[in-house]
């Protein structure tokens, strides 16, 4: 049985912190799920860490669905959330509903995430009224980096902070089951968390959110091109992988791998008959 959105609300009420991670493939999702992480986001961050794009903006819905299917196949308990990519929910509510339904029907996700506050409230309301759970996302919204002027902390000034509080409250009223707060000052995140009854999930938003989300590649030390301030490396797998590959190459060249231990033998009589 998978985690439900009602269970997440209960976790907030019980003051139980909610861990969340991204995953983009079957084996990673399987490991994350087996550990017991209740929320897995198939983030459009896969554009950078899996596909090599400069930002999340080039990511297509077909690419997202491809990875979402793999993550769903690797999980049994976690609630899997599909990240709706750039311009898949902006043109019209009808267009957003069609694309969100693809994540549920084709991708097998149990919820979708979209960026924005008041501007997407009517879309959130429509999706949730049709039975599609929606996670909101405010603060630094990566799909709007050209408008924001880059990856910058949001909500530092009074007016901007008030805007974020209002956005969070409007998203809750529209039916969102949770809200990601990205790169929001910690005191403001705490205030928003207190003002809404749905869980807040922080990333670079301080310790007082109801939960935290991180990009799996960052905490494992797999993606080393850029390390955000808000992340912590719990492993350095990129270094370990390089060592392992270097050892493999050396052993192949020196003919110390494979050995007969890694090979299959053959009946000598059969072999001799082939040599006649």
pLDDT greater than 90 at residue 151: no
Measured distance CA(148)–CA(108) in Å, rounded = 32
Can you give the residue ranges of every domain in the chain? Answer: 5-236, 240-274
Q: Given this model, what pLDDT does residue 92 score?
A: 97
Measured distance CA(208)–CA(204) in Å, rounded = 11
Q: Given this model, what pLDDT does residue 51 score?
A: 96
Tell me the catalytic residues: 182
Structure tokens, 51: 């596909």
pLDDT greater than 90 at residue 6: yes
Q: How confident is the model at residue 21 (pLDDT cuts 50, 70, 90)?
A: very high
Q: Given this model, what pLDDT does residue 131 score?
A: 97
Exposure string for 28-64, b = 16+ CB within 10 A, e = fewer: bbbebbeeebbbbbbbbbbbbbbeebebbbebebebb
- Contact indicator for 96, 88 with CB cutoff of 8 Å: yes
Measured distance CA(77)–CA(2) in Å, rounded = 4
Q: How confident is the model at residue 254 (pLDDT cuts 50, 70, 90)?
A: very high
The mean pLDDT value of the chain amounts to 95
Strands 79-83 and 211-214: unpaired
Question: Which CATH number applies to 5-236: 1.10.10.60, 3.90.1200.10, 3.20.20.60, 3.40.50.2300?
Answer: 3.20.20.60
Measured distance CA(65)–CA(45) in Å, rounded = 14
Looking at residues 3-12, what average pLDDT do you find?
Answer: 98
E strands present in the chain: 18-22, 39-42, 79-83, 111-113, 134-139, 178-182, 200-203, 211-214
72, 73, 96, 173, 202 from 101: Cα distances, Å: 15, 18, 8, 21, 26
Helix axes 61-73, 26-35, angle to 10 degrees: 50
Q: Given this model, what pLDDT does residue 256 score?
A: 96
Q: Given this model, what pLDDT does residue 57 score?
A: 94
pLDDT, one tens digit per residue, over 175-212 is 999 999 999 999 999 999 999 999 999 999 999 999 99
pLDDT, one tens digit per residue, over 46-98 is 999 999 999 999 999 999 999 999 999 999 999 999 999 999 999 999 999 99
Q: Given this model, what pLDDT does residue 154 score?
A: 85
Using DSSP, state whether 223 is helix, strand or coil. Answer: coil
């Amino acid at each position: 049985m998978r985690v439900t959105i009602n269970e997440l609300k209960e976790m907030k009420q019980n003051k139980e912190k909610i861990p969340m991670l991204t995953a983009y493939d079957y084996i990673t999702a399987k490991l994350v799920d087996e550990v017991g992480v209740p929320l897995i986001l198939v983030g459009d961050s896969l554009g950078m860490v899996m596909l090599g794009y400069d930002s999340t903006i080039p990511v297509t819905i077909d690419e997202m669905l491809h990875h979402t299917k793999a993550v769903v196949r690797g999980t049994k308990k976690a609630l899997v959330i599909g990240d709706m990519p750039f311009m898949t929910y902006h043109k019209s509510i009808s267009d957003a509903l069609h694309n969100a339904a693809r994540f549920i029907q084709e991708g097998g996700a149990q919820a979708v995430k979209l960026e924005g506050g008041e501007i997407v409230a009517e879309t959130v309301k429509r999706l949730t009224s049709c039975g599609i759970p929606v996670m909101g996302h405010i603060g630094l919204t990566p799909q709007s980096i050209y408008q924001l002027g880059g990856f910058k902390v949001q909500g530092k000034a009074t007016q901007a902070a008030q805007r974020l509080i209002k956005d969070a409250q409007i998203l809750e009223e529209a039916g969102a089951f949770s809200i990601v707060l990205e790169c929001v000052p910690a005191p403001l995140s705490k205030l928003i968390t207190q003002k809404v009854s749905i869980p807040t999930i922080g990333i670079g938003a301080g310790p007082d959110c109801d939960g935290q989300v991180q990009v799996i590649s960052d905490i494992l030390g797999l993606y080393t091109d850029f390390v955000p301030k808000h992340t912590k490396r719990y492993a350095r797998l990129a270094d370990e992988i390089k060592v392992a590959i270097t050892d493999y190459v050396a052993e192949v060249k020196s003919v110390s791998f494979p050995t007969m231990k890694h090979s299959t033998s053959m009946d000598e009589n059969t072999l001799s008959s082939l040599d006649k």
